[in-house]
Structure 1
Amino acid sequence: MTAFDLLSEPIRKYIRDQRWESLRPIQEAAIQKIIATDNNYVLISRTASGKTEAAFLPILSKVNFKGKGVKVLYISPLIALINDQFMRVEKLCEYLDVPVTKWHGEASKGAKDRLIKAPEGIVLITPESLEAMFVNKPHNIHHLFSTLEYVVIDEIHSFLGSDRGIHLQSLLQRIQKVNTGKFSTVALSATVSDENKYAELKEFLGDPEHTKVIRDTTPKPINAVFKYFERGNSELPLDLLKDLYIRTRDSKVLVFPNARGKVEEVAVKLKKLSEKVGGHANYFSHHSSVDKEVREYVEFFAKKSTHENFCISCTSTLELGIDIGNVDEVAQIDATHSIASLIQRVGRSGRREGKSSNLFLYATDRWSLLQSLACWLLFKEQYIEPISMTQKPYDVLVHQLLSMIKGASGITLTQLLEDVRSNAAFKNISAEETTEIINHLTEIDFLEKLRHEYIIGIEGEKVVNTKDFYTLFHTPVFFRVISQGVKIGELPLSAQTIIDENVYLSARIWTIKDIDYKSKKIEVLPAKDGKKPLFFGDAADTAPKIREKMLEILISDEKYDFMDEPGQEMIRQMRKYFSIYDIRSYQTDRPLFSGNDKLKFYSFTGSKVNRTLSFILNRVGIKNQLQENESEFELDFSKKSEFLSLFKDLNLNHVNFDDALTELIENSPETLNFSKWGIYLPLNYQAQLLKNRYFDFEGCNEFIRNLNFIENK
């Protein structure tokens, strides 16, 4: 029996009405498996390969929606993605007369009320909205989801290896606890590493033995062009922007710079170039600071523009699977921090069947060029960074303890410990550790003990009773940006936000005229003074494999026909510079330059290992500075002999860094800013969090153990 024949008649009619010539490979495979078993499944296939339908076609054919309660819960990392998928799922469900409800902060209250009154059908939600339900209306969780049969997690790679992912894992475990049966999970992704045979991914879904991976490995043709333009200052080179304009003026394009400020700079300057030569006016910016209505208009315009060309300069807000229609080309300005991110961005073009993806990659400095090349070559080798799962997420536990206690309106220690013990997200945290954290939360008045039960304490109420409580990630303080009564967007408050300074926002340049701190409002006017605008940047960690690949490129003589001559020349220059080192192995050999009273060490390893290495060196009295390229350490020349001897017998397994980490937190509490809830942990647990998440002592120890210094000739 074919996959099509296994589907219910209403679903088959839907497919016929859509005039699909055939099912996609991932759909064929998923239908056969999901209908036949109750296993969990992870569907891995390139962007725009039909993964959403691969999940919903068999689920809708299999589930009986006539019973009470929500039967399918779709979880998305983005509200915008929910709004986008809602239309697709609703259209499909019309053939079954199954209601679909959006549930998030911007969704219709009337639709939510109808669902509460008569729970049924499918609900589309974010983890944060689910958390809000647990905290504020816990009875609704049982009322809605006690007969849940399927959970669909979209873009699961965006959750893995993060606090937000552990949070989602915990929420799903808590839903399972109120479920009268056992729901199955179908997760969707375009970018998940197969290292260790997806062990971490299966573990994430809570039942590795009954979790199967279906992967469509069909390759998609990608045309790549690498171009190099040296950046002389903080602004992008004009020649780069001119080249980008010429290459994309007659296309539908997404441009991905690596920071919101650069996004705005690209949109503004390309628009000006277009105006000068009489080109189209459809140049937009799209990122989290742009007003929601403006972002939605940009998405709508792109999706409906069958004949008009456009260019959207964007951050990762358009990296995930929001359908904005047919994009011809993607341009990336400077290196992505990860291969997974590059895959997502490249996949945004050539989404229509039979179309290849097109990538223009522009680099503005030599290290960015080298890292871009390394990411691209690893991508061609089908390498994706492995998932790094947190073994003991103490900070997420703090949040979930507060959530459980608030939702229960009082709970005994025995029950609380049992709820944590039975939650797979915290399986590596002992009852003793949980008790110690509960005692600390009580000491700081986050919790209060009344007889045998714990309730939220005075200080805890201040945190729990805010919208900010529902998220596991830091929400920066954003000020509304207003021009003559019209909202332009939002900007994060920083030391750079100063009256009379210029800022980029919504593809225009504005001058700040007033800042109202009480109402969190910034008044602006269109800029006329020509002053350079401020930039707001973003940073992320890079994996060791990428940096290792960068060194491998430098010791090879391979030529790259997809790179322009200036790029080729810069790679030749870098190779010439590093030819003074007799490097035989890119995995173990590392260059050490000494001369002219300078000592430089090129680590070519990941961000976390670099941080750990820098911390260790400073701790033993060897002052060092890690350069912006994150591959080069500058050291005190007079400490060369100490530096070399340090690594001879160094074994971090025999070194107790707990006191040093505690001291670091006490002296520099901002070091813990990567964790929203870590600051409420006991100090020794904060140190452990820092050790396991900000640093990588195990990876650094392995790096040091295999390290072979190669000094310059």
Structure 2
Amino acid sequence: MTGLHPVVEHHIVNTLGWPSLRPLQSAAVEPLAGGSDALLLAPTAAGKTEAAVFPLLSRMAASNWHGTSLVYVCPIKALLNNLLPRLEGYAAWLGRRVALWHGDVPTGTRRKILRERPDILLTTPESLESMLVSVNVDHREFFAGLRAIVVDEVHAFAGDDRGWHLLAVLERLTRVTGRPLQRVGLSATVGNPGELLRWLQGSGAGTRPAQVVAPDLNGNAPSVTPLGPSVRDAPQAPPPGDIRLDYVGTVSNAATVISSLHRSEKRLVFCDSKQLVEELGHALRARGVTTFLSHASLSADERRRSEQAFAEARDCVIVSTSTLELGIDVGDLDRVIQLNAPMTVASFLQRLGRTGRRPGTLRNCLFLALNEEALLHAAGLLLLWGRHWVEPVTPPPEPRHIAAQQVLALCLQEHRVGDRLWQEWWNGLGPFGATAAPIVSHLIDAGYLDRDGGMLFIGPEAERRFGHRHFMNLTAVFTAAPEFTVLAGRTEIGRTDPALLTEEIEGPRLLLLGGRTWRVTYIDWRRRRCFVEPSDGHGRARWNGVGIGGLSFAMVRAMRSVLLGADPPVQLTRRATERLAVLREEAVESVHPGGTVITRSPGGDVRWWTWAGFRANATLAATLAGVADPGQRVEDAFIRLREELTPDMWKAATGDAPERLCLPDVDEKALNGLKFSVALPHRLATATLAARLADLNGAASVLREPARFSML
């Protein structure tokens, strides 16, 4: 354990009883103790937290860091709660303290933290932002001793706007402290680890030492890769495991399979929606299975009770959305079951990593497809997994709305900012530099900012739009759909979509929440609360999501390969094999190994089977507006074309198309899901969303392929 502080080494051996560190932990010591930025890349349960914390605690002791010197950031509060006792134990070895700060932490506890600053602060990016803008926090004093940042599950941030928000907040913290901050990211397997680390470094990329610490392609001892221009990223090999794919057709059939298989074992079931979690949970309980539920619309107490009971129980099932995909400890699992399929291979690897932790056991996952589309999706995903392919994590392009939010947050933080000095707060980080100048001009013109004597400060429009509850709405960059709180007496059960409370029904209004049926007794419309009591029967669950969906180019192309005869390297049940055979027979006219296919149905419906994914198809539909059916809903596998299409029309429309690709058209309603879009000029808000809807590379690739006309 050379390189760790002697006290840390002593407790690893004598308190934890570890004869040695795990390979990842050992390999991380030298770069982290030496102050390098780093990305620690490994599957779930590889000891990434200890790999980061042990060297940083050693550095804290050796360099005599004082005050809050380490901030540990997680994407969800439940993960922070789960980590707190473990990190408290490690810090106590050196007489150091850990504190938790997020939205559920009581005001009294926060006041104590401000009086008695901990050495390590566990928090979320949104809570960091709130500390910077709060009038109750002297952020310069509180963060004066800050030296290092650990970002857990960094891949979960980097793929959406929370990542841009996190980077911008870290740059402001760097400015507050007046020193570079060591940045350490912890991640599950990704396809582009070097790019992810460079992204995490922000303005320090290329100027600070940085290393990727990751298992090699065979899953053996980690390699330590210094970053440089010649380094090429390579996807990591998936771990071996017992993977099976079945076709069950309905939630009821899925519940029957789950209730009859693997009895006496602890099973974690992932679903792709909260509604599906509720329906399966209800069906399992009806079959006498001890069942717990976890999703974001259940109350924190309800989720905590479920997760604790599940961790301590045997012969039970917990049904969850992706909330349990991250590193929350729910005990030693025997099985992971997936209804339908996750959106990405990376997500599947994260879920698969929850099993196989005991010596002599394999990682395992049983896929249960509820319909043919899900079966094909799961087969395509597993085909990619078998090819050792993992998605690159790509930050959303052109985060102009986040730049607007950050300028407003900075003015709250500093009260007044020079109208020529605001850019310096982000240390040259691209989206928040000179390119944001037109956004700042618009904020001034629209009244979000006022300007006086060369200084910028919060304007009346920002007060009106975001000033509620001390600008709390300004600290989070994601938009949550409106929901009603559901209460049984004084106990909060969770939240539900208001549409379930307004639609016309006959008889009692029954809700499904927490896997149980509730009868609505009273609705408080003004306070958005709904009171219920337990009931028999089968209630309804519903939630409306926000954001843009659809599968990627790589995923849909893998599904096409399955239809052309490729089998994923997993065990397929007889039902899955037979259903795939039917799908292949039905798709004989829509797939061809030599290129894309254009078909015309007897009713005149003309479809171009691109198998290119949602974003590429949106790009193609906009580019070929002259021959594409106007106003169509974008699909993953095909684009509708005009009924009068002829081969000559097609040739004329596509001849120069690769050189004139267009960004997709934007539905005005979709702008509502882009938080802070109201603070942008309309044209910039539309351009931002259009850039995020586009897949120019995928569209160009499809246009280079020959198109066959069938039944024309």
Q: TM-score if structure 1 supplies the norm length?
A: 0.89
Paired position in structure 2 for 1:536? 543
* Counterpart contact for 2:35–2:182, Cα < 8 Å: yes
Letter in 2 for 1:225: R
* Counterpart contact for 2:599–2:709, Cα < 8 Å: yes
Equivalent residue runs for 1:112-191 within 5 Å: 112-137=110-135, 140-191=138-189
Could you report, residue by residue, the CA deviation over 1:274-296 in whole angstroms, capped at 9, with x for unpaired residues? Answer: 1xxxxx5x311111111111111
Paired position in structure 1 for 2:270? 256
Paired position in structure 2 for 1:474? 479
Paired position in structure 2 for 1:347? 353
What runs of 5+ residues in structure 1 fail to find an aligned partner? Answer: 275-279
Paired position in structure 2 for 1:277? none
Paired position in structure 1 for 2:213? 214
Paired position in structure 2 for 1:450? 452
Question: Is the aligned partner of 1:575 residue 2:572?
Answer: no
Counterparts of 2:280 and 2:27, CA distance in 1: 42
For residue 627 of structure 1, report the CA deviation from its aligned partner: 7.1
Letter in 2 for 1:212: Q
Paired position in structure 1 for 2:526? 518
For residue 580 of structure 1, report the CA deviation from its aligned partner: 4.3
Q: What is the CA RMSD across the aligned residues, in angstroms?
A: 2.6
Identify the match of residue 507 of structure 1 among 484, 492, 515.
515
* Counterpart contact for 1:147–1:180, Cα < 8 Å: no
Counterparts of 1:654 and 1:648, CA distance in 2: 10
Question: Is the aligned partner of 1:304 residue 2:306?
Answer: no
For residue 451 of structure 1, report the CA deviation from its aligned partner: 3.0
Counterparts of 1:362 and 1:468, CA distance in 2: 39
Identify the match of residue 619 of structure 2 among 612, 615, 630.
612
Could you report, residue by residue, the CA deviation over 1:671-702 in whole angstroms, capped at 9, with x for unpaired residues? Answer: 21331112321122112202211233x23541
For residue 190 of structure 1, report the CA deviation from its aligned partner: 1.0
Paired position in structure 2 for 1:39? 36
For residue 403 of structure 1, report the CA deviation from its aligned partner: 0.3
Equivalent residue runs for 1:275-424 within 5 Å: 282-305=290-313, 308-420=314-426, 422-424=427-429
Could you report, residue by residue, the CA deviation over 1:547-595 in whole angstroms, capped at 9, with x for unpaired residues? Answer: 111111221254766011121112112222333468234xxx1222224
Closer/same/farther in 2, CA of residues 11 and 114 from structure 1, 3 Å limit: farther
For residue 616 of structure 1, report the CA deviation from its aligned partner: 4.1
For residue 643 of structure 1, report the CA deviation from its aligned partner: 6.2
Closer/same/farther in 2, CA of residues 204 and 62 from structure 1, 3 Å limit: closer
Aligned-residue sequence identity (percent) comes to 25
Equivalent residue runs for 1:7-18 within 5 Å: 7-18=5-16
* Counterpart contact for 1:672–1:678, Cα < 8 Å: yes
Counterparts of 1:244 and 1:598, CA distance in 2: 41
Counterparts of 2:4 and 2:591, CA distance in 1: 62
Paired position in structure 1 for 2:234? none
* Counterpart contact for 1:253–1:312, Cα < 8 Å: yes
Counterparts of 1:411 and 1:85, CA distance in 2: 37
Counterparts of 1:680 and 1:653, CA distance in 2: 33
- Number of aligned residues: 678
Q: For 1:192, what is the secondary structure of its paired residue?
A: coil
* Counterpart contact for 1:624–1:635, Cα < 8 Å: no
Counterparts of 2:127 and 2:573, CA distance in 1: 48
Identify the match of residue 492 of structure 1 among 493, 497, 502.
497
Counterparts of 1:692 and 1:388, CA distance in 2: 13
Letter in 2 for 1:368: A
Question: Is the aligned partner of 1:483 residue 2:488?
Answer: yes
Counterparts of 1:705 and 1:581, CA distance in 2: 16
* Counterpart contact for 1:148–1:183, Cα < 8 Å: yes
For residue 621 of structure 1, report the CA deviation from its aligned partner: 5.9
Counterparts of 2:373 and 2:662, CA distance in 1: 35
Counterparts of 2:476 and 2:6, CA distance in 1: 39
What runs of 5+ residues in structure 2 fail to find an aligned partner? Answer: 220-237
Counterparts of 1:563 and 1:627, CA distance in 2: 31
Letter in 2 for 1:544: F
For residue 712 of structure 1, report the CA deviation from its aligned partner: 3.4
For residue 199 of structure 1, report the CA deviation from its aligned partner: 2.1
Paired position in structure 2 for 1:548? 557
Letter in 2 for 1:152: V
Question: Is the aligned partner of 1:602 residue 2:616?
Answer: no
Paired position in structure 1 for 2:230? none
* Counterpart contact for 2:481–2:544, Cα < 8 Å: no
Counterparts of 2:706 and 2:117, CA distance in 1: 64
Counterparts of 2:199 and 2:498, CA distance in 1: 39
* Counterpart contact for 1:482–1:489, Cα < 8 Å: yes
* Counterpart contact for 2:496–2:541, Cα < 8 Å: no
Paired position in structure 2 for 1:675? 674
Q: For 2:356, what is the secondary structure of its paired residue?
A: coil
Closer/same/farther in 2, CA of residues 245 and 584 from structure 1, 3 Å limit: same
Counterparts of 2:144 and 2:318, CA distance in 1: 43
* Counterpart contact for 1:191–1:343, Cα < 8 Å: yes
* Counterpart contact for 1:119–1:143, Cα < 8 Å: no
* Counterpart contact for 1:498–1:512, Cα < 8 Å: no
Letter in 1 for 2:512: Y
* Counterpart contact for 1:147–1:181, Cα < 8 Å: no
Letter in 2 for 1:52: T
Closer/same/farther in 2, CA of residues 333 and 17 from structure 1, 3 Å limit: same
Letter in 2 for 1:683: H
Q: For 2:486, what is the secondary structure of its paired residue?
A: strand
Closer/same/farther in 2, CA of residues 287 and 531 from structure 1, 3 Å limit: closer
Q: For 2:243, what is the secondary structure of its paired residue?
A: strand
* Counterpart contact for 1:650–1:704, Cα < 8 Å: no
For residue 600 of structure 1, report the CA deviation from its aligned partner: 2.3
Q: Name the stretch that deviates more: 537-546 or 254-263.
A: 537-546
* Counterpart contact for 1:251–1:328, Cα < 8 Å: yes
For residue 640 of structure 1, report the CA deviation from its aligned partner: 4.5
Counterparts of 2:50 and 2:397, CA distance in 1: 34
Closer/same/farther in 2, CA of residues 145 and 548 from structure 1, 3 Å limit: same
Closer/same/farther in 2, CA of residues 176 and 53 from structure 1, 3 Å limit: same
* Counterpart contact for 2:82–2:329, Cα < 8 Å: yes
For residue 253 of structure 1, report the CA deviation from its aligned partner: 1.1
* Counterpart contact for 1:653–1:701, Cα < 8 Å: no
* Counterpart contact for 2:564–2:591, Cα < 8 Å: no
Paired position in structure 1 for 2:223? none
* Counterpart contact for 1:69–1:143, Cα < 8 Å: no
Closer/same/farther in 2, CA of residues 295 and 33 from structure 1, 3 Å limit: same
Counterparts of 1:267 and 1:102, CA distance in 2: 32
